[in-house]
A and B are shown apart, each in its own frame.
Chain A
Amino acid sequence: MSAKMNTGNTKVMNRFDVTSRLIAKLKHEEAVIGGIGNTNFDLWAAGHRPQNFYMLGSMGLAFPIALGVALAQPDRRVFALEGDGSLLMQLGALSTIASLKPKNLIMIVMDNGIYQITGAQPTPAAGVADIVAIAVGSGLSNSAWAADEEDFERLVETAMSATEPHLIAVRIDDKPGVGTTRRDPVQIRERFMHGLGVREPL
Chain B
Amino acid sequence: MVIAEGTSPQATQGTGERSWHGIVLQTLKRNEISLVPYVPDRVLTPLITSLHADPFFTTFATAREEEAVGIVSGAWMGGRRGAVLMQTSGFATLANVLASLAVPYQIPLIMFVSERGTLGEFNYGQSLVCRTMRPVLDSLALEHHTITRFDELEFIADRSIKQAVTTQAPVALILNPLLTGGKTFDK
Contacts and interface: CB of A to CB of B under 8 A. Distances in A.
B79 A90 contact: no
Nearest to B106: A186
B73 A56 contact: no
A185 to B, nearest CB: 4
Given A92-B64, A99-B60, A185 B105 contact: yes
B58 A92 contact: no
Interface string B26-56: 0000000001010000000000000000000
A199 B68 CA distance: 23
B63 A92 contact: yes
A57 B62 contact: no
A61 B78 contact: no
A188 B101 CA distance: 11
A68 B78 contact: yes
Contact of B71 (A55, A57, A64, A99): A64
Given A67-B71, A96-B63, A96-B67, A72 B80 contact: yes
A45 interface: no
Contacts of B72: 68
Contacts of B125: none
Nearest to A96: B62
Interface string A69-93: 1111100100000000000001111
B100 interface: yes
Contact of B74 (A69, A92, A197): A69
Interface residues of A, number: 39
A186 B169 CA distance: 12
A158 B62 CA distance: 28
A41 B64 CA distance: 27
A72 B68 CA distance: 14
Nearest to B68: A64
B66 interface: yes
B96 interface: yes
B72 to A, nearest CB: 6
Contact of B77 (A58, A61, A69, A95): A69
B74 A72 contact: yes
A44 interface: no
Contacts of A90: 63-64, 66-67
B62 A92 contact: yes
Contacts of B58: 71
A193 interface: yes
B78 A69 contact: yes
Contacts of A76: 78
Contact of A64 (B70, B76, B96, B106): B70
Nearest to A183: B104
Contacts of A65: 70-71, 73-74, 77
A110 interface: no
Interface in A50-66: 53, 55-61, 63-66
A192 interface: yes
29 contacts: A57-B96, A57-B99, A57-B101, A58-B66, A58-B70, A61-B66, A61-B70, A64-B67, A64-B69, A64-B71, A67-B74, A68-B71, A68-B75, A68-B76, A69-B77, A69-B78, A90-B63, A90-B64, A92-B63, A93-B62, A93-B70, A96-B71, A185-B104, A186-B104, A189-B107, A192-B77, A193-B79, A196-B77, A198-B77
Given A68-B73, A96-B60, 7 more contacts: A57-B97, A64-B67, A65-B77, A68-B82, A71-B58, A71-B78, A100-B60
Interface of B: 35, 37, 58, 60-64, 66-80, 82, 96-97, 99-101, 104-107
